[in-house]
Structures are given as structure tokens and as C-alpha cells.
Amino acid sequence: MGNNRIWTAALLVIGDEILSGRTQDKNIAQVATWLNRQGIRLEEVRVVPDVGARIASAVNELRRTYDYVMTTGGIGPTHDDITVDSIAAAFEVPVIVHPEARRILEDYYATRGGVTAARLRMARVPEGAELLPNPTSGAPGVRMDNVFILAGVPGIAAAMMEALDGKLEGGRPMVSATVGAYAAESEVADLLREAEAANDGVAIGSYPFFKDGRYGANFVVRSDDGNLVERTAKDLERRLSEAGIEPFSGGI
């Protein structure tokens, strides 16, 4: 069968702005999608406030539980950007100015007013960390052991992940297929359970919606075996048709 190891990750979102409801998070979905493409399963997300001890204890718990930890937020130049300090505290190492990060910032700000004390904050890393390229805005991300420190601005986080594409060890990506139906979940509950039981190794999730005045649900078939996913989706469509419910391949 080869290597069936499952690689896991957690995401730590650092930000008062998410917990206050001011900002709608956009990083969870994009980190989840990117990790899946790397063959890594996002197993947990936590959102914590901009409080050093809270960040450090979450990082320590998560990095010991999962293969990888991604963090977003708190790596800019302002006083509320405390992610690097908090993660250094978690690893019990000092914070240093990374020479290559300093050079990157000097280049980036050469035509933008030069490196000030505030900007130099963005060259600070936990001792022993490596840099992650930031193709969009100068200040690099940071890798400390299995912890990947990304920007909070979704576009910059996306660019950092793109630069990391294919560089993390992973297993087989999860594959999914969606079948939708205009039917109340409660009408198809038995049929779903039976379809899942008949196709060993898949998980079927049911996600109800109310759209254009009609109730319905999308059924998502997931596995790391693409053929099994396809077979199960067909099986589910057949079962829905036999129950007099029109299935929509690809979902509604």
C-alpha cells in the first residue's frame, strides 16, 4: 500500500479583530484549502487574542499535537504585533534580528524612506528560525521548527503559502465530490447513513441550505481515494433517484 501516513496541521489565528467581530476571518478557508493541496489535513483551528501568554500556550499545545502549525496575524511593525515575541517565549529562546531579514527590509525600503526602528521590528525572529519568502510586501514570514508564522492580511498570507507550495512533506490529499438535492435532510438521513456504511472508507457530510424559498442540502463525499469518492457519489445519486429525489451532481 505504500506510505499511508496522515499528516496533520493546526491553524492559530491571532487577532483581537476576529474575536471582537470587527473583521470577518478569511484565513481559515484559504489555509485549509492550501493545506489539503499539500496532502496535510487541518485538524484544528484556534483563535486567540493579542495576549502573549495566550499565544505561547496555544502554540506549545498545538505544535506538540500536530505535524505542522500555521499562525496568521500579528507580524507587522506596530505595538500590537507580538506574535514573534510570543512564539520565541513558547520555544524559550530569545528574539534576534535576522541578518537576511534585515537585508530584505533594507532593499525593500531603500526607495520607501529607509528602515526605521518600527520597520526593523519586522526582521525580528525567534533565535534558530528560518525565513519564509514574502513575494508581495517585503517583510518575510518565519518558520520556527514546525511552526509557520504567516501574515494576517489574507492576500499576503496567500502569497506566502504559494511560495511554500510543494515544500512541506504531506500525504495524499483528501478528494471530495458533492451531490445536492432539494430535500429536507430529515427525509434522506437514512439513505445517507446507508450510503456511507456501504462504501467503506468514505465520510459523507450533509450541509442544509435554504435557497430561493426551497429547503435542500449538499452531501459531500470525502476520502483520500478518488475512485472511492466517485463510486460513492454515483451510489448516492442512484439511492436518491430511487427515493424519487432528483440528485444534482456537483451540488446546488
Binding site for a copy of itself (CB under 8 A): 13, 16-26, 28-36, 41-50, 54, 76-81, 112-113, 116-119, 121-122, 153, 155, 174, 176, 184-190, 192-193, 196, 203-210, 220, 222
Cβ closest to a copy of itself, residue 184 vs residue 241: 184
Q: Say if CB 90 and CB 56 are below 8 A apart.
A: yes
From the CB of 128, what's the least distance to a copy of itself, in Å? 26
CA distance 224 to 176: 8
Cβ closest to a copy of itself, residue 80 vs residue 130: 80
Cβ closest to a copy of itself, residue 45 vs residue 163: 45
From the CB of 186, what's the least distance to a copy of itself, in Å? 4
From the CB of 93, what's the least distance to a copy of itself, in Å? 24
User: In the chain, how long is the greatest CA-to-CA distance?
Assistant: 70
Helix, strand, coil tally for the chain in percent (to 5): 40, 25, 35
Q: Which amino acid belongs to residue 163?
A: A
Q: 59: closest CA among 98, 79, 40, 85? A: 85
Residues 6+ apart with CB under 8 A from 202: 196, 221, 222, 223, 228, 229, 232
CA distance 73 to 15: 6
Cβ closest to a copy of itself, residue 4 vs residue 20: 20
Cβ closest to a copy of itself, residue 18 vs residue 104: 18
The three cell numbers locating residue 9: 496541521
Q: Say if CB 147 and CB 63 are below 8 A apart.
A: yes
CA distance 72 to 184: 38
SS3 for 151-168, per residue? CCCHHHHHHHHHHHCCCC
- Per the listing, cell 437514512 goes with 190
From the CB of 113, what's the least distance to a copy of itself, in Å? 8
From the CB of 45, what's the least distance to a copy of itself, in Å? 4
From the CB of 77, what's the least distance to a copy of itself, in Å? 4
Q: What is the CA radius of gyration of the chain?
A: 22
From the CB of 207, what's the least distance to a copy of itself, in Å? 6
Cβ closest to a copy of itself, residue 128 vs residue 249: 249
Cβ closest to a copy of itself, residue 93 vs residue 116: 116
